[in-house]
Structure 1
């Protein structure tokens, strides 16, 4: 019996290769079960998700003679070789430079003035600040780290429980990936071949809706507990002047969306424009030192390297899953459960929510995003609608124990225990799920601006 050394589709009658369907189903299932067990064990031990995926992929290749080593290596490299991916490091750099340019401080001043006369003013500032700064970074972890250092100590001085402040900060940080230029939207568009420009436009209303729901819940909970009552004293700075100071941050996502939708530049070119745009304000305000700029560049390299590692590992792992026809098996099982578009999207959301308890959002987008796409599109679900719901649910795992990355970021800085955080965050998780349900039931929230 000749040994198969090709992973390419071919005829089962070929003497030098084999299709997935011609291989032993029992052996394939056994190997997949072994990989699943190893995945769970490594995850529990605390191995980073990127290293888990690449390690299991390598082991699978070594154990399965049907996969060419060279083809696997090419797949790993190909997973990071795409022009649109240039937008990722450039948008990350934009956020880093914005934070040192002085714009962040001006945005914070504006947000504090807007919410001064609301119940729970500083908590509302926390949410509004995340919304206004979302267009600068698109990173939930970066937003949570910044506000945990700056706002949480001030909230504690005003009588907010530390666990509540930390939970609110972590949850409000999830607005960042939903406002252009969200990194999750870029990655989803890349792996599913969905228009990144349409995803950017489609995510704006859901991001604002999430902010509004969080602010409404915060109003009632702070009023009930009498935390930080409204301050009706005259504003220290005129609101109009503060708005002009925050305008550069507010205009950035608008600039990106308009430029992409009108064909002025591509998403990657938009990222380069965003860096230049930020550089202008660094030169004008003269608040950033060369040391801070160097630190921002180093941070960008570290963050980008982590994302690319997960991207390369996910590409290899997804290729192996495709070789074993896992997407077809999953799709068939899902279609057998329901053919109702809304129920299907709700089922996808539930799967992502459960998987997000253990797997980081970027990996979910890269692995499950393209896996579920044929299923939802076969039922007539718009790819942009699916993408917005998927990215929203994928990032929810950032604040859910036991492995939420945003949760760990905020808790490490504020020194709040995971148990106390979990007790404080669950109402906000429910509010987040309410937004997800609205997006599923009303597709127009996600598609209106995307196809305007």
Structure 2
């Protein structure tokens, strides 16, 4: 590894981001400038283009546009309202129960749609006005919505876990999906604990007690939506279909469900497909340029040098994992999840596997780190969506979000140093 290449890579990336260039283009241009130091112009540009094209030539990546389309159909299909009604009937009568409803609904919708942004938009759009009407502080409601929406990226099905599987060289997607359940539920429980303490301290009201019959009715109404998780995850774990095939089945099921609920008509399908194409293009452009940058870094021996440096620093897994967590938390502040996973997985995975850390455990750990970054400025997409839906400025929600940040960090430390939280279910199912 030559220091000049590293400086060119870092400085060009930072400068390009600083002047407002979209992150996908900043990554691609930084990779191109770095390789041109040692390779002629035509060969360098051609190599980057080839790496981008071959990086997208993956059957596994087909799952991403299908899950995005499935999420779009859910977003339009009235699923959010049904999940909120079920959650409210279940626990809305507790003191500060509307915050619990927000968290549970965000977890359910985020896991079904696989999108934290969709959860923040859909659940926040419905829950924000309801919570404000019942006397909850607007900034507090937005903080609950923003932080809880990220749990859907850990609880499967999750596009980012598919990206990690690709970046790691083929870690089982089924194992990653199953491994995400307990950490996701843990984060949700910690957020509910914080929300409950704040609600009690501020005297937020309890909702009306709902009879068991009403709980049963709302559950029956929500069952068709919840069945998607059973179909997708059950089919993958049972070996009935791959993750990519499951994503196509998810599209078919959500389309039928949206028609059944009469929330989507044939007239709506073109706009839904166009929105899916737009989102997919952004994601796959990030994937392509990130894969090219990962190849350039490998070509320059940057991952190997960083790995050797970390292992030379210490062979204590506790210390190394702490350092990696701090680095990933900082990365998440400035970089979107997809490029972060594709760029840093080849760097850190060899380090942790050399110390005996399971690749499935590290995948959940990495995604959980970067989920926290989605709630932080200046790049936090969920933060911006949550503030936009609540019609608040970012500075209005930063202080109310701090206790929830702390809860997520506590969850991160627990998942980091208690591997069984992640690995118990995969081992139970033989992965």
Determine helix, strand or coil for the equivalent of 1:403. Answer: coil
2:32 corresponds in structure 1 to 58
Instruction: State the distance in 2 between where 1:145 and 1:213 align.
Output: 22
Deviation at 1:336, TM superposition (A): 1.7
Deviation at 1:34, TM superposition (A): 2.5
CA contact (8 A) 1:135 1:252 kept: no
Q: Which moved more, 1:260-269 or 1:97-106?
A: 97-106
1:210 corresponds in structure 2 to 187
CA contact (8 A) 1:179 1:253 kept: no
Q: 2:11 aligns with which of 25, 32, 37?
A: 37
2:199 corresponds in structure 1 to 222
Cα deviation, 1:56-83, whole Å, max 9, x if unaligned, reads: 1222344432664433221111111100
Instruction: State the distance in 2 between where 1:351 and 1:234 align.
Output: 46
Instruction: State the distance in 2 between where 1:204 and 1:233 align.
Output: 29
1:140 corresponds in structure 2 to 116
Instruction: State the distance in 2 between where 1:423 and 1:92 align.
Output: 32
After TM superposition, the structure 1 = structure 2 runs for residues 120-159 of structure 1, keeping only pairs within 5 Å, are 120-159=96-135
Instruction: State the distance in 1 between where 2:259 and 2:358 align.
Output: 43
Instruction: State the distance in 2 between where 1:69 and 1:287 align.
Output: 47
CA contact (8 A) 2:110 2:150 kept: no
2:324 corresponds in structure 1 to 348
2:297 corresponds in structure 1 to 321
CA contact (8 A) 1:180 1:204 kept: yes
Determine helix, strand or coil for the equivalent of 1:91. Answer: helix
Q: Which moved more, 1:68-77 or 1:126-135?
A: 68-77
Any stretches of 5+ residues in structure 1 without a counterpart?
1-24
Q: Which moved more, 1:115-124 or 1:57-66?
A: 57-66
Instruction: State the distance in 2 between where 1:440 and 1:236 align.
Output: 39
Determine helix, strand or coil for the equivalent of 1:386. Answer: helix
Deviation at 1:266, TM superposition (A): 0.5
Instruction: State the distance in 2 between where 1:150 and 1:46 align.
Output: 33
Cα gap change, 1:103 to 1:380, in 2 (>3 Å): same
Deviation at 1:321, TM superposition (A): 0.7
After TM superposition, the structure 1 = structure 2 runs for residues 160-199 of structure 1, keeping only pairs within 5 Å, are 160-192=136-168, 193-199=170-176
After TM superposition, the structure 1 = structure 2 runs for residues 283-362 of structure 1, keeping only pairs within 5 Å, are 283-362=259-338
CA contact (8 A) 1:91 1:271 kept: yes
Larger Rg: 1
Q: Does 1:382 align with 2:372?
A: no
2:405 corresponds in structure 1 to 429
Any stretches of 5+ residues in structure 2 without a counterpart?
none
Q: Which moved more, 1:291-300 or 1:107-116?
A: 291-300
Instruction: State the distance in 2 between where 1:306 and 1:34 align.
Output: 25
Deviation at 1:308, TM superposition (A): 0.3
TM (normalized to structure 2)?
A: 0.94
1:245 corresponds in structure 2 to 221
Instruction: State the distance in 2 between where 1:164 and 1:259 align.
Output: 39
Deviation at 1:185, TM superposition (A): 0.7
1:8 corresponds in structure 2 to none
Cα deviation, 1:241-267, whole Å, max 9, x if unaligned, reads: 111111122222222222112211000
Counting matched residue pairs gives 425
1:266 corresponds in structure 2 to 242
Cα gap change, 1:234 to 1:379, in 2 (>3 Å): closer
Determine helix, strand or coil for the equivalent of 2:334. Answer: coil
Deviation at 1:372, TM superposition (A): 0.8
Cα deviation, 1:183-230, whole Å, max 9, x if unaligned, reads: 111110111121111000000111111111111111110111012x22
Q: 1:200 aligns with which of 170, 177, 193?
A: 177
Q: 2:48 aligns with which of 72, 96, 104?
A: 72
Instruction: State the distance in 2 between where 1:33 and 1:280 align.
Output: 52
Q: State the superposition RMSD in angstroms.
A: 1.7
